[in-house]
Amino acid sequence: MSSSEDPREKLSDAPRHRRTYRELHDGREPFFPNFLLKEWIIGAMFIVGFLIWVLLNKVGLGSIANPNDSSYIPVPDWYFLFLYQALKYYPGNGEVFGAFLVPVIVTLLLIFLPWIDWSKNRRPFKRPLATASMVLVIIMMSWLTAEAWAQHQAEVGGSAAGGSSSSTSGLPFAVQHPTSTALMATSMPGYQLFENTCAGCHGQNLEGSVGPELRGIGNVASSSQLLPVITKGFPPNMPPGGGLTNKSQLQQIADWLSQQKQK
């Protein structure tokens, strides 16, 4: 039997599965390169935009870790705040449910989504269930994040250190949280000393972090009032002299702080 008599040859030149594939994709956009290219362009635009945003917005380091500060309240980074907050609603043994079961179920749903949702429709309004679930997830995440942040601010405000919040009660100088935030007299030697010794707790721009905000402190305190307070410190929250023992350097810092008359 010669090859031309092979019955399989008479069927068609193209194998059946290839033909149906071609028919299927007739007049449609191929995934490679068209679709992938679009995805890639959007991805590249996002990364470049994000880089520019980061470069234009100088993000400083947080405050220096202080092992002596027992009032420090740790929180996760903002993008995990919603998970952190969600845990609070599962007290006691319910934590297993909140920390393990719910995330596993959600992850499994995501993995099996292609088998669960067969719809080829891409318009959001024609897919009410998928759209509604996504909107619900976004609302839940935003609400949980906002709630976590509000609760954290309340906790920090209530703690002894005060942080940058408005709890300055019990402190010798009641700083008035001025609207102007620019530092003053930065050519004075006390400025550099402050940045090196005190800014870790009071912020590079006096905005406060572990220690209270010191902007506008020059409005309520003179250099001679500041010096003894700084020298004594507030153990254990603030070590004497902020850890500095050199008297003339402390004097320089007090001189500089008394010039911080932001309104």
Q: Which residues of 110-137 are buried (b: 16+ CB within 10 A; e: fewer)?
A: eeeeeeeeeeeeeeeeeeeeeeeeeeee
- Least Å distance between CB 124 and ligand HEC? 51
Residue 201 contacts ligand HEC per CB under 6 A: yes
| Residue that is written with structure tokens 């995805």 in the block | 39
Residue 160 contacts ligand HEC per CB under 6 A: yes
CB 157, CB 166: distance < 8 Å: yes
- Least Å distance between CB 155 and ligand HEC? 15
- Least Å distance between CB 226 and ligand HEC? 6
Task: Report the C-alpha gap between 40 and 56 in whole angstroms.
Answer: 24
Give the footprint of ligand HEC on residues 81-100 (CB under 6 A).
Answer: none
Going by C-alpha positions, the residue among 205, 230, 215 that lies closest to residue 174 is 215
Residue 216 contacts ligand HEC per CB under 6 A: no
Which span (33-41, 86-94, 131-139, 235-243) binds ligand HEC, by CB under 6 A? 235-243
Give the footprint of ligand HEC on residues 240-259 (CB under 6 A).
Answer: 241-244, 253, 257
Name the H helices within 57-172: 81-87, 94-96, 102-111, 113-116, 128-158
Cis peptide bond N-terminal to 236, omega within 30: yes
Nearer CB in complex with ligand HEC: 127/167: 167
Q: Would you tell me which residues interact with ligand HEC (CB under 6 A)? A: 66, 160-162, 168, 171-173, 175, 197-198, 200-202, 210-212, 226, 229-230, 234, 237-238, 241-244, 253, 257
